[in-house]
Structure 1
Amino acid sequence: MKRSHIVAKDTSRRDILKLAGGCAALTNTSLLSTMLNLSATNTAVAQTSGLSGYKALVCVFLFGGNDSFNMLTPLTSSEHADYLAARGGDYTAGNGALGIPASELAATAITDSVSGRQFGIHPSMPEVKTLFDQGKATFLANVGSLVEPTTMAQYQSRANLPLGLFSHSDLQQHWMTSVPQSRSQVTGWAGRMADMITDTVNTNPAISMNMSLDSVNLLQTGGSVVPYVVTSNGAQEVGWYGPTWTQAKIFTTLTDDVLSRSYANLMEKTFAKMNRTALDAAISFNDAVDQITTVDQFFPTSPSRLQSQLRMIAKSIGAHESIGQSRQIFFVGVGGWDNHDNLIGAQDTNLATVSQALKSFQDSIDELNMTNDVVTFTASDFGRTLSSNGKGSDHAWGGNQIVMGGPVTGGRIHGDYPLSLASGNALDLGRGRLLPTTSVDQMAAELAMWYGVANDNNMEHILPNIRNFFGAGTSYPIGFLS
C-alpha cells in the first residue's frame, strides 16, 4: 500500500543527518501522536475491569450542520403536509423552497415498527434504506447538545443553555466534550472514556486505542490519551527509512545508529527511545492493516474520500489483534454541510456519498464476521432551520442522526421525532429551529454502556451532566442498542 512520506528525494546528506536526530518524527502526525501517548503512560484517572471480547465505535462527524429533516422526512400524509409548509413548499417549484415531494421519497419509505408512522429517507440514500430494512441501521431523532432537559420557557429565559447556541465552533465543541456549559473543556467524552479503560484493553501503548483519519479532534482527546492519526493509506512513516536503494540504506543506518545510542542526558535518552518506538509503531501498524485484504472488494476502484477513510478503519478493525487492542474508537470528519446556499443540490451529493460509504463499510465489517462488534454513528454541529432563507437553510439546534451496526434495535425511529413540523409547533424556537428532545449525553451514554462502561460514577466522569437526564443503573437511556 502506498504510504505518505516526509523526506523529499533531493534532501541533502546534511539534511539526512539532521533528520536522523528525530526531527522527522516530530513533523509526522502518526509518529507524534505515538510520542504524546507514550509521554502520558500510566496517568489514567480510573479503570474499568471485566471488559471482554472486542468492540469498536466509529464516529462520522458531518461538519457544518446537516439539514437532517430532509435526511429523515415524515411521510404520513398530514405530517408531510406540515413538513412541506414549514420548508416553504416543494423544492421543484424553484422558488427557494426546500421540501422534498412525497413522490421522490416513495422508493426510500420506511415505517416505524412501534408507532406505525411513515418516513422517507432522502432519495439519494437507498443504501441506508437497505441497511434499515436489514435491521442494521436506525435513526435517533431530534438530538442536540443540552445542559439539562430544557423547556420552551427555559429557553426563552435563557436558563442554563449551552454556550454559543447556533455557533459552529461552540456546538461542535459541545458535541465532542458533552460539557456545553463551558468553552474551556479540553477533553472529549471519548477521550475520557479511553483514559479509563486503555490500560485494560490496549496492550500496545505506542498506538492509541483512539484512532483518527487525517486530523486530531477534541472528541478523542483525553487527559492521557490522544488520537493516533493515520491517513487513508495508513500510518505515515519516515521517508527513506527501510527501502533498499543506496541513499535509503544510508538514512536507515544513520537513523538506527542515532536512536540506539546510549545517551547520558535523560531528555536525549527519552527522546531517542520515543522516536524509536514511534517509528516502529508506524511500520508495524501498516504491516498489520496490509494483511486485511478481504474488505477491499466492498469499496469501488475509485472510492470517495470517505470510502477510503472507512476502508482504512475496516482494515484497522480487522487487524485489531495484531495491533494489540480489544477496544477501538475511530473518528472521521466530513465537511461541506453548511448549506446556506444550494441546499438541495449539495445534499443530493453529500448524502449520497455518506450513504454509499456507510454501506461499503458495513458490508466490510460483515465480511470480517464482526457485525455485532462495531457500532457506527453520525454526529453534526446542529440541525438547520426548516424555513428557507431563499437559497438554503441556516443554523438551528435539534437534528437527526444515523446509528449503524449489528447491535442496533432496528425497524425503529428512536427518540422523539416531532409529531408536526409546522411553523409554531411546540418545539419551534422560530424559523423552524427545533428544541432538542434528546441530549447528546443520552446518546453518548448508550454508546458508552454498550462499549462496556458501567453506568455509575465512571459514567459521571465521562459525561458530567448525565444525571440531569438519566439515573444510574443497567438499562439503556434510549434503547437504540440492544
Structure 2
Amino acid sequence: MKLNRLPEIQRREFLRRSTQLGLVGMAAPWALNLAAIGEAAAADARGGYKALVCVFLNGGNDNGRTLLPVDAAGHAFLASLRGGTTDLGGLVAPRASLAATTLTPRVPLTGPGVNGTQLAMAAELLPLKSLFDTGKLGWLLNVGTLMEPTTKAQYLARSVPLPPKLFSHNDQQSFWQSSGVEGSTKGWGGAIGDLFLSSNATSTFTCINASGNAVFLMGDQAVQYQISNSGAVPVNGVVSNLFGSASCSKALNNLITAPRTHWMEAELNRVASRSITAQATVKAALGNANALPFTATFDTTQSLGRQLQMVARLIAGRSTLGAQRQIFFVSIGGFDNHDFLLTQHPGLLGQLANGLSAFQSAMNELGLADQVTTFTASDFGRTLTSNGDGSDHGWGSHHLIMGGAVRGQRFWGKMPLLANNGPNDVGQGRLIPTSSVDQLAATLAKWMGVSATEIKTLFPNISRYDQSDLGFFSL
C-alpha cells in the first residue's frame, strides 16, 4: 500500500520557506527575514500615491552610442576606439549630429581625467532633451551588476566576489533584476512590493507587468499581475456566453471558483477566482478605451508605446485599483547588436525616446509627474571597441532616471576613463561599473518609502558601498 506523503511534502515546504525567510535571509538577497516582517507592514506609504516604472532594454544596450563625449578630444578618441578616425568613422555618430542633444550639467562630472568632459545623448533621444533641461531627467553613469566595489586589479586577481556568469544575457538580466543568476525566484521590485502590500486596498495590483513575465516583480508575497496591451486577460467562457449559453458560463464560473476540500484544487480555484475578480476591476479602472484620460500621444504601432500607454492608463485608474504604491515593468528587445548596430540601434533609441516622452506628458496631464519615477535598465553595457559591424557584450553602462521628483539635469556616479586598456577597462572596452545596481535600487526604494533598516534587509550588499543613496531625489 502506498502512503500519502502530501502532508509531509507540504510540511517540508513550509519549513523550507520559513528557513528562507528567517535563518538564511542574508543568503537570499531579496528575501524578507523574520525579524523584518513586523517592520515590513510599517513601510511608509504617506504622502500619497507613488509608482516606479522599470523600462528594460533586452539584449544589452550600447552605451557608446547612447551617451557619449561630444567635446572634440573625447569624441575623436571614442571614434578611434570604435573603428574610425574621423567624425564619420566607426560606430560613433558624427559629432555635428549631436549639437541638439548636447547636455549641460549643473554639476561637474567627476572621475579621473574627465573633468570638463561634455556629454551628448544620441540624436534619436532628442525628445528627452527638454526633460533633461528642465530638471526632470538625469543620467546614472557606468552602473552595472556588482557584489562590492571592484577595481581592475581586484577583477584580474579575482580577489573580490564577482557577479556569476558575467557577460551572459540570461544571467545578467536576472542579476540586474534579482541579484541572482537565471532561475532566481525573487526580484528587488517584488521585494519592495512586499513591503507595501498592506498599503494597497487590493494587493493584486501592487506589481504589474505589461510585457509578459520577469523575476524583477516577484516577491515573497507579491505576485506580478500580467496585463496585455489591450487590458486584463479575461476568462472568455466566464465573461461572455459559453457556447452561446449564459447558463454554461454560470456553470463554468461555479466549477472553477467554488471552494474545494483538496488543497491543490482549492488553490487552483482561488487563483481562478482572483483572476476573474481582477479582470473586472481592471476593466472598470481602464474605462472606455476610446476615451483616454490624457491627450499624450503614444506610438501604438510599437510594442513599447502600447505598453507605456497601458501603464499610464492603469496609473490613471489607481483609485479603482485601490493602489497607493505600485511597481511596473515594461520592456523592449533588439539591443543585442553584434551586427547592424548603425542601422538597428537608432530606431530602438527612437522608440525609447518617443515612449518615455509621451509617458511623462501623460503623467503631467494626470497631475502625477512628481509621484511616478521611470528608469531604464539592461542586461549589461557593450564593448567600446568595434567588432566590425557592432559591439559585443560589456558590463557597465549609462541609464536614465526620469520624473517630476527627480533632481534632474545632472549626472550621478562617475564617468569612466575612456582609454584603451585603461583603469576601468577589463578588455575590449568592457567597463567595470563604478555604481552598482544595489545603489540604484536602494535609492529608488528610499524614495518609495522604504526605511533604512528595510533597505539593509533587502539589499545586504549595500553596506559595502560608501553611498546607499545616489541623490536622485530631494528627500
For 1:141, the aligned partner's letter is: L
TM superposition shift of 1:78: 2.0
Aligned position for 2:349: 351
How high is the TM-score relative to the length of structure 2? 0.84
- SS for the counterpart of 1:317 is helix
Tell me, in whole angstroms, the C-alpha distance in 1 between the residues paired with 2:86 and 2:234. 49
For 1:461, the aligned partner's letter is: T
Aligned position for 1:31: none
Aligned position for 1:407: 405
Summarize the alignment of residues 411-430 of structure 1 with structure 2, pairs less than 5 Å apart: 411-418=409-416, 420-430=417-427
Tell me, in whole angstroms, the C-alpha distance in 2 between the residues paired with 1:425 and 1:271. 56
TM superposition shift of 1:272: 3.6
After superposition, give the CA deviation of every residue in 1:36-81 in whole Å (9 maximum; x if it has no partner): xxxxxxx994333432111000000001100012111111222222
Tell me, in whole angstroms, the C-alpha distance in 2 between the residues paired with 1:222 and 1:261. 27
Aligned position for 1:10: none
Judged with a 3 Å threshold, the aligned counterparts in structure 2 of structure 1 residues 80 and 241 are, in CA distance, closer, same or farther, namely: same
Q: Answer yes or no: is the 8 Å Cα contact 1:211–1:227 preserved in 2.
A: yes
Aligned position for 1:433: 430
Tell me, in whole angstroms, the C-alpha distance in 2 between the residues paired with 1:276 and 1:416. 50
Judged with a 3 Å threshold, the aligned counterparts in structure 2 of structure 1 residues 409 and 391 are, in CA distance, closer, same or farther, namely: same
For 1:140, the aligned partner's letter is: L
TM superposition shift of 1:183: 5.9
Aligned position for 1:466: 462
Q: Answer yes or no: is the 8 Å Cα contact 1:57–1:376 preserved in 2.
A: yes
TM superposition shift of 1:113: 1.6
- 1:220 maps to 2:217: yes
- SS for the counterpart of 2:444 is helix
Q: Answer yes or no: is the 8 Å Cα contact 1:69–1:400 preserved in 2.
A: no
Tell me, in whole angstroms, the C-alpha distance in 2 between the residues paired with 1:59 and 1:90. 37
Aligned position for 1:247: 244
Q: Answer yes or no: is the 8 Å Cα contact 2:142–2:413 preserved in 1.
A: yes
Summarize the alignment of residues 295-310 of structure 1 with structure 2, pairs less than 5 Å apart: 295=293, 297-300=295-298, 302-310=300-308
Aligned position for 1:324: 322
Tell me, in whole angstroms, the C-alpha distance in 1 between the residues paired with 2:304 and 2:362. 14
Q: Answer yes or no: is the 8 Å Cα contact 2:54–2:328 preserved in 1.
A: yes
TM superposition shift of 1:294: 4.0
After superposition, give the CA deviation of every residue in 1:417-457 in whole Å (9 maximum; x if it has no partner): 12x4131322111211111101111111100000110122x
Aligned position for 2:135: 135
Aligned position for 1:380: 378
Judged with a 3 Å threshold, the aligned counterparts in structure 2 of structure 1 residues 391 and 414 are, in CA distance, closer, same or farther, namely: same
Aligned position for 1:170: 171
Aligned position for 1:14: none
* Unaligned segments of structure 1, at least 5 residues: 1-42
After superposition, give the CA deviation of every residue in 1:113-134 in whole Å (9 maximum; x if it has no partner): 2116421110111111122112
- SS for the counterpart of 1:138 is strand
Indicate which of 263, 266, 277 corresponds to 1:280. Answer: 277
Summarize the alignment of residues 113-124 of structure 1 with structure 2, pairs less than 5 Å apart: 113-115=106-108, 117-124=117-124
- 1:479 maps to 2:475: no
Judged with a 3 Å threshold, the aligned counterparts in structure 2 of structure 1 residues 76 and 301 are, in CA distance, closer, same or farther, namely: closer
Tell me, in whole angstroms, the C-alpha distance in 2 between the residues paired with 1:436 and 1:272. 46
Judged with a 3 Å threshold, the aligned counterparts in structure 2 of structure 1 residues 248 and 185 are, in CA distance, closer, same or farther, namely: same
Q: Answer yes or no: is the 8 Å Cα contact 2:79–2:87 preserved in 1.
A: no
Judged with a 3 Å threshold, the aligned counterparts in structure 2 of structure 1 residues 316 and 388 are, in CA distance, closer, same or farther, namely: same
TM superposition shift of 1:318: 1.0
Tell me, in whole angstroms, the C-alpha distance in 1 between the residues paired with 2:390 and 2:249. 55
Indicate which of 280, 286, 293 corresponds to 1:289. Answer: 286
Aligned position for 1:156: 156
Aligned position for 1:236: 233
For 1:147, the aligned partner's letter is: M
Q: Answer yes or no: is the 8 Å Cα contact 1:145–1:174 preserved in 2.
A: yes
After superposition, give the CA deviation of every residue in 1:317-349 in whole Å (9 maximum; x if it has no partner): 111111011000000121100000011111111
After superposition, give the CA deviation of every residue in 1:177-216 in whole Å (9 maximum; x if it has no partner): 135xx666421111122222212x12113x2401001312
- SS for the counterpart of 1:337 is coil
Identity score, percent: 37
- SS for the counterpart of 2:279 is helix
Q: Answer yes or no: is the 8 Å Cα contact 1:240–1:248 preserved in 2.
A: no
Tell me, in whole angstroms, the C-alpha distance in 1 between the residues paired with 2:96 and 2:285. 48
Tell me, in whole angstroms, the C-alpha distance in 2 between the residues paired with 1:47 and 1:103. 54
For 1:60, the aligned partner's letter is: V
How high is the TM-score relative to the length of structure 1? 0.83
Judged with a 3 Å threshold, the aligned counterparts in structure 2 of structure 1 residues 48 and 390 are, in CA distance, closer, same or farther, namely: same
After superposition, give the CA deviation of every residue in 1:151-192 in whole Å (9 maximum; x if it has no partner): 11100012211111111112111101135xx66642111112
Aligned position for 1:102: 95
After superposition, give the CA deviation of every residue in 1:246-302 in whole Å (9 maximum; x if it has no partner): 815233222344357565656545544442332121121122122584445212474
Tell me, in whole angstroms, the C-alpha distance in 2 between the residues paired with 1:162 and 1:260. 44
Indicate which of 45, 48, 65 corresponds to 1:51. Answer: 45
Summarize the alignment of residues 195-206 of structure 1 with structure 2, pairs less than 5 Å apart: 195-199=194-198, 201-205=199-203
Tell me, in whole angstroms, the C-alpha distance in 1 between the residues paired with 2:252 and 2:120. 58
- SS for the counterpart of 2:155 is helix
For 1:313, the aligned partner's letter is: V
- SS for the counterpart of 2:425 is coil
- 1:191 maps to 2:190: yes
- The RMSD of aligned alpha carbons is 2.3
Aligned position for 2:208: 211
- SS for the counterpart of 1:382 is coil
Tell me, in whole angstroms, the C-alpha distance in 1 between the residues paired with 2:174 and 2:258. 43
